[in-house]
Every structure is written in C-alpha cells, then in structure tokens.
C-alpha cells in the first residue's frame, strides 16, 4: 500500500501530499496515522491523508516511512483540518496541526502516548492496618508508614504522588509492600484539570420553564435526525440573560449521551466562563474532559486521550475544542456565540463557529448556538428558538442612557448618585469601561507634542501603578516623561480616563465598600482573573470595575447596578461590526444586573445618547436591533449578504506594502467580486501596512478565496515587491 503523507512543516511553499511505500509491519497504518518520514536530508513528522494501491512516483524512487507512531487522529478530523486549511487560505500542515494530539508536531521524537507510572493501593490487611495500626503482626509501624497507609484509604495513588504527600520514601512504600499491606502496580498516569470555579451554583434547575422545554425539544428533534438537510440541524437559541440557557445545554448534552453519542461544548474563554465549564463537570462527572491552552502539557494530553478512547464523551473548551477527538458526535453547543474569541487571530485564522457548522454537518450532529445578543449572521441563517423571559420571571433591569457632553470627570452625576445608593444600601455594582490604564495619552502643554509608540502610529497609554507609558499594540513601554524632549517644558497633560484611574475615583466614592478591578493589568493570567471574580462573588457588597471582561457570562445574583462608561466609544471605530459590538457589550453588561430579589438598574453613559445600538440595547430589543442591522448590511453588501476576505501587506520601509497590495488588487478580477482598497493602515510593530478587502457573493466565496490565494502567491514570488509580507484573513472580524 501507498500512504499519502502531508509533512508537518511550517514551509509554505511545500505542496504535499507525498507518497510513501508501507512495509509489511506497518499494515495498520491508515488515514490519520502519524509517521516519521525521511524527507530529503531531514526526518519529519507527517500525517497520512490518503491511502492508495498505486503511485505516480516510479517504484524505485518510493521510500518507506521510518516509523509509525502509536497515536493518530480520526480520519474525520484529518478531513476537517484539510478543509480549514483550504477555507482559510492556510497550508495543509497548519490545518492538520489543529487536530493533532497535544504535544505532537513540535518534534518527531516527542512522546505522545500515555504516561505510565507505579501506583500503590491498600490490600485488605493494609485497610485493617490503616484503621488500627496495632492489629499488624510483627514490628510496630513507623509514623511515615502509618501516614502512607492513611493516604491510601481514599484510593490508589501514584508512588511519586504518595511520597510527595506523606514524606514517606520509596523504601517505606516497598517495606509496606513486603509486609503485604500495599500492592504496587504499573498503571497509567493521569492529570485532571482543576475546574473549581467561582460561585458555580450547584443547584440543578431541572424543572424547565415552557420556553426551556420548547428549546430543548427543538434541539433533540434535530439530533434525532428530524431535519432533512444539514442546515436544518442548526439552532440559534436566543435567550435573554438569565433565561436559563445553560440548563438547556446541559439537558441537550444529557439527551445526546443517552443516545450513545458524544458532545462538544464551546465556551468563549475558560478563564472568564469557569461557571459554565464547572456546571458541566458537576452534572456529568468523569464523562467531561476539558481542553484548553492554559492546561499543562500533561493534562492536555491526558484529556485528549480520554476523549480519543471514548472514556470521556463531553468536551468542554474554547474555540480549539471544536477539534476534540470524539467519535459519534451528536451535538455541538456554542455558548455566547456572539463572542469574538471564537475567531483565531493567528494562521490558520479559522472561525470556530463556522468550523463547528462544518463538523456537525459532516457527523450528522445538531448544532446549538446560544446567546442573548445573536450575530446578524446567525440570526439570518439559523433556525431560531427564543427564550424571552428570565427563569425566575424577574423583570429585565431598567436602562437609562445619559449624555456626557461637557462633563469634566468620567462619572455622570446620575451615576454618582446611583453608586452612592449602592454604597448606602451595601449592595453590589459592576462598572464597565473598555479602556485600561490611567489615561489614554499624554501631551505637552507648551508645544502640543503627543507621546507615541516608536513602533506603531498610536499614542502611548499612561499606567500609573507601573510608572510607565506603554503601547497596547506591541507592548513597547518606557518611563513616564518628566519633561518634553522637544521643548523642555515640564508641564505634561494627561487625557481621558482608563480603568486604573476610574478605580481610584470609585474607591473614594464607594468607601467603605471594597472595589475590585478586572482588566489585563490587574489580573494577568487565568488564576488571577478567577481570584478577582471569586472575591467579588464572596464579598457581601462591593464594586467590580473593568474592561469588557466584566460583561462576560458571570452570574452574580446580587448585582443591583450596572454602569457602562463611554458606551459609544466603540461606535467611532471604522468597522462595519462596530454597531453589533457596541450593542452586544451594552446589552450583555445590562444583563449582569438585577438577577436577585432587589431588582436592578443600568446606567449607560454616552456622548451620542440617540445612537441606534444604544437605544435598542437600552430597550433590551435584540430583534429590533438585528432587523435594522440586517437591512443596513444588505444595502451595503456586508456579511451575511457577502463574504469578505481581508489581505494585509506589510513592509519594514514604506513602499513594497503599497505596491504589493495594488498588484494583488489588480489580479483579483472576478465578475461580481469587488475589491476595496488598497488603503493604508496605521504602522504596527515597526511595519508599514496596506489593506485590501475583497467582497464576494456568498456562493462565490470559495472561488474568491482561491483567487486571493493565487494572487498572493504570484505577487509574493515577484521580486518587484521584495520586502513585503502578507496575511490573508477569510471572514475577518
């Protein structure tokens, strides 16, 4: 047999697959197997993407793989990885790297099989000795021996873990074995991630509301194949915040497991949605595996293997979990489907929501995308099920939009009064300002100089606690200037307010209530984010202030006030999704308030109080917003009424990026396809940039992607544009 192998190499120019002849001892090799192959002078890791009995390569030039690895990936995932590569203008190697076992692809020699270790467990005599050490015949048991026996009462432990936990050495454990109290066996070492999240409320609301029941039966019917076409298996669950979407997910997953099938649950970001992940683990126990990049290497590999072997049948994780190696897939849930984190930033720039649709269709599985603020794309294309009421029949909070024109500080008098009320009644409030740091930028009062990043055409943000000004795009940071390098003036003005400064204002205002800050500076890393959320959750009263992190799916039942500062700042970005984003952010934050008995209230501060996105968010009117947004998009031919491909050309010195972008624009010449640009973008990380947007009819999307790929390949091979680099983003966000 001939194996068609795609080598895992970052080289873009390499066009596989390549044929290898399989020797007799590799008879088990099939699509999805991983091989170590000779490739020129090198040894590479490769994935089998096809099998054949013949090859176009002459027999005398065919070589054999060096080794077949123990683990591989399901054939279904090989197809999915190659599809992602094609769909998102990437390479087969990069597409396949998404579906490989964790740790693979980083080197052919790396072990990716299960790890084995020695485990100790108690015998019957050992169990008796643990409860009554004096019952053991022979010499009296020492302190370490007794500790080791005690530690094993709960179940077997790895010998290494046992010695760590009790201080007993290997010799002590061996002595217990010799005395017949303990058996030592070789077993598989497993690491399980710790899912203990903030305030995961254990209560199971298994009595469903009518709306929940209807949503559930709609999904289950599609899982059972009631739909005729794959499109009909996709359900958009539009449920207001607090309508009990998670319970619908849980029961849909339970129904999926009852049918002997597996499920994937995608969450936006584990660190920000620990409650959701924890609730799945509480409900389904060991049937759940969690996959995400913050896990240790061993944990990730072990969780992956549990899924691959069918020991776990529910995978919970962020976007990359869409590639979980489950078999017999019955359901994919996408929680908070509006969240931008479903789109991967680096190559391949895939969108997990689109990949999920593809995978569900491939497997004949149902897709359930839930949110309080649906994307226009999903609203237009998916079957809608609506849950318009909160589970406890509590009213949605009242939202006031207040104008900020002429204000000198960051807080409106109405906001100040509302926060004073929260303080006096000892309640909780969440304040959102989507800008971190102390102030947005610094300028010289004498000559007007503005402090900018030397690498990017953006202003540097002042961080007071760190005593530095830094660039939020490239990470450049420098000391705070004490005088202007241009004119020598020592008078430097600070403009605007970020979360760091707002925190200080709130500390003064809310005193003695505690103030918690949640942003990338205050809470770097997963543990720190959880810690802030946990402390706010457990405090009897207080104020949580932060960036958009505070608007994500945390369920704090006792928040009575939500505030959005500068809510329309995001509307001023030149982006067709600006309205959608602003609506979602404000509506999501509004949903955090008023889930308890005391009800809730929301204040939205904005320059333009009449902005469409804000009006609809204030009225909790997603449908009205989406209707307007869809007609606007139809008129301007934006998604979902067109497909976009974005090409960014960059270069160290000005010139090549612009000429390359123009050359690509000239080559993408298809009927019905329009090209916007080239347009210059601001300099980023020391690179000049130019951008093209290719707009194609939805059913011409694949044709347009291929045309862009060919144009980029041709232009990058042309010496006239030497020095330019390219990035292609299909369905840019």
Binding site for Zn ion (CB under 5 A): 444, 446-447, 449, 453, 455-456, 471, 473-474, 476, 484, 486-487, 489
- Three-state DSSP class for 418? helix
In angstroms, what CA-CA distances link 17 with 46, 55, 95, 98, 346? 9, 12, 13, 17, 24
Other Cβ atoms less than 10 A from the Cβ of 398: the count is 15
Least distance (Å) between residue 572 CB and Zn ion: 21
Residue 471 or 645 having the CB closest to Zn ion: 471
**Cα 362 to Cα 306: distance, rounded to the nearest angstrom:** 22
Burial environment of residue 454 by CB neighbours within 10 A (0 to 12, 13 to 18, 19 or more): exposed
Give the DSSP H or E segment for 385: strand 383-387
Contact (Cβ atoms closer than 8 angstroms) between residue 74 and residue 32: yes
Least distance (Å) between residue 487 CB and Zn ion: 3
Least distance (Å) between residue 471 CB and Zn ion: 3
**Cα 570 to Cα 493: distance, rounded to the nearest angstrom:** 24
Residue 461 or 559 having the CB closest to Zn ion: 461
Least distance (Å) between residue 610 CB and Zn ion: 35
Least distance (Å) between residue 480 CB and Zn ion: 15
Residue 156 or 446 having the CB closest to Zn ion: 446
Give the DSSP H or E segment for 230: none
Least distance (Å) between residue 484 CB and Zn ion: 3
**Sheet containing 477-479: order of strands:** 461-463, 468-470, 477-479
**Cα 141 to Cα 125: distance, rounded to the nearest angstrom:** 13
**Cα 168 to Cα 178: distance, rounded to the nearest angstrom:** 15
Least distance (Å) between residue 475 CB and Zn ion: 7
Residue 581 or 683 having the CB closest to Zn ion: 683
**Cα 53 to Cα 1: distance, rounded to the nearest angstrom:** 5
List Cβ neighbours of 719 (8 Å cut-off, separation of 6 or more): none
Contact (Cβ atoms closer than 8 angstroms) between residue 317 and residue 102: no
Residue 297 or 487 having the CB closest to Zn ion: 487
Least distance (Å) between residue 459 CB and Zn ion: 10
Least distance (Å) between residue 350 CB and Zn ion: 27
**Cα 440 to Cα 553: distance, rounded to the nearest angstrom:** 27
Least distance (Å) between residue 349 CB and Zn ion: 22
Give which of 540, 519, 523, 539 is closest to 531, Cα–Cα.
523
Residue 421 or 481 having the CB closest to Zn ion: 481
Strands of 154-291 (E only): list them. 157-158, 182-189, 234-239, 262-266, 288-290
Upper half-sphere CA count for residue 65 (Cβ side, 13 Å)? 31
**Cα 67 to Cα 1: distance, rounded to the nearest angstrom:** 15
Residue 191 or 446 having the CB closest to Zn ion: 446
Least distance (Å) between residue 657 CB and Zn ion: 17
Residue 417 or 450 having the CB closest to Zn ion: 450
- Three-state DSSP class for 43? strand
Residue 444 or 690 having the CB closest to Zn ion: 444
Residue 615 or 685 having the CB closest to Zn ion: 685
Residue 417 or 447 having the CB closest to Zn ion: 447
């Amino acid at each position: 047999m001939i194996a068609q192998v795609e080598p895992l190499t970052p080289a873009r120019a390499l066009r596989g697959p390549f044929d290898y002849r399989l020797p007799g001892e590799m008879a088990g090799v099939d699509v999805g197997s991983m091989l170590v192959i000779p490739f020129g002078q090198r040894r590479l890791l490769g994935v089998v993407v096809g099998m054949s009995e013949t090859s176009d390569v002459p027999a005398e030039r065919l070589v054999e793989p060096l080794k077949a690895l123990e683990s591989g990936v399901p054939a279904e995932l090989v197809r999915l990885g190659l599809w992602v590569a094609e769909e998102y203008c990437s390479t087969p190697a990069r597409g396949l790297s998404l579906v490989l076992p964790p740790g693979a692809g980083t080197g052919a020699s790396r072990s990716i099989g299960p790890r084995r270790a020695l485990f100790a467990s108690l015998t019957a005599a050992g169990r008796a000795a643990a409860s009554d050490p004096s019952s053991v015949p022979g010499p009296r048991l020492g302190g370490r021996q007794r500790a080791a026996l005690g530690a094993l009462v709960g179940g077997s432990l790895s010998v290494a873990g046992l010695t760590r936990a009790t201080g007993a050495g290997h010799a002590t454990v061996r002595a217990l074995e010799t005395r017949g109290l303990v058996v030592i066996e070789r077993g598989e070492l497993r690491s399980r991630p710790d899912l203990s999240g903030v305030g995961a409320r254990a209560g199971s609301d298994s009595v469903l509301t009518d709306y929940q029941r209807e949503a559930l039966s709609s999904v289950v019917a599609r899982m059972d194949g009631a739909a005729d076409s794959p499109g009909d298996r996709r359900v958009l669950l539009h449920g207001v915040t607090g309508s009990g979407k998670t319970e619908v997910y849980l029961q849909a997953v339970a129904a999926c497991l009852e049918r002997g099938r597996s499920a994937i649950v995608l969450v936006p970001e584990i660190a920000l949605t620990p409650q959701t992940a924890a609730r799945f683990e509480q409900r389904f126990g060991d049937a759940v595996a969690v996959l995400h990049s913050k896990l240790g290497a061993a944990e990730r590999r072990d969780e992956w293997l549990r899924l691959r072997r069918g020991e776990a049948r529910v995978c919970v994780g962020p976007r990359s979990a869409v590639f979980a190696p489950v078999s017999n897939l019955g359901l994919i849930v996408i929680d908070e489907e509006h969240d931008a984190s479903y789109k991967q930033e680096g190559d391949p720039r895939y969108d997990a929501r689109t990949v999920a649709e593809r995978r569900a269709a491939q497997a004949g599985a149902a897709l359930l995308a839930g949110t309080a603020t649906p994307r226009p794309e999903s609203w237009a294309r998916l079957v809608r099920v609506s849950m318009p009421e909160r589970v406890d029949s509590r009213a949605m909070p009242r939202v006031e939009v207040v104008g900020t024109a002429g204000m000198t500080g960051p807080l409106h008098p109405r906001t100040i009064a509302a926060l004073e009320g929260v303080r006096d009644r000892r309640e909780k409030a969440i304040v959102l300002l989507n800008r971190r740091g102390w102030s947005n930028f610094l300028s010289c009062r004498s000559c007007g100089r503005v402090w900018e990043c030397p690498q990017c055409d953006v202003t540097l943000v002042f961080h007071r606690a760190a005593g530095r000004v830094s660039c939020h795009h490239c990470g450049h940071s420098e000391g705070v200037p004490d005088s202007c390098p241009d004119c020598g003036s020592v008078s430097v003005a600070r403009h605007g307010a970020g979360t760091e400064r707002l925190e200080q204002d709130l500390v003064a205002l809310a005193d003695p209530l505690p103030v918690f800050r949640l942003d990338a500076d205050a809470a770097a890393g997963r543990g720190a984010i959880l810690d802030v959320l946990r402390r706010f959750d457990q405090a009897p009263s207080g104020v949580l202030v932060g960036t958009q992190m505070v608007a994500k799916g945390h369920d704090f039942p006792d928040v009575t006030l939500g505030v959005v500062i500068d809510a329309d700042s995001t509307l001023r970005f030149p982006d067709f999704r600006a309205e959608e984003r602003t609506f979602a952010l404000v509506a999501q934050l509004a949903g955090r308030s008023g889930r308890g008995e005391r009800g809730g209230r929301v204040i939205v501060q904005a320059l333009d109080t009449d902005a469409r996105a804000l009006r609809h968010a204030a009225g909790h009117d997603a449908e009205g917003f989406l209707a307007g947004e869809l007609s606007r998009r139809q008129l301007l031919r934006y998604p979902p009424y067109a497909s976009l491909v974005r090409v960014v050309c960059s270069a160290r010195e000005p010139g090549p990026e612009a000429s390359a972008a123009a050359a690509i624009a000239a080559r993408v010449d298809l009927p019905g396809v329009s090209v916007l640009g080239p347009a210059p973008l601001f300099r980023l990380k020391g690179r000049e940039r130019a951008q093209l947007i290719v707009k194609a009819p939805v059913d011409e999307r694949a044709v347009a992607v291929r045309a862009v790929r060919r144009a980029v390949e041709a232009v990058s091979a042309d010496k006239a544009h030497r020095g330019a680099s390219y990035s292609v983003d299909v369905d840019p966000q």
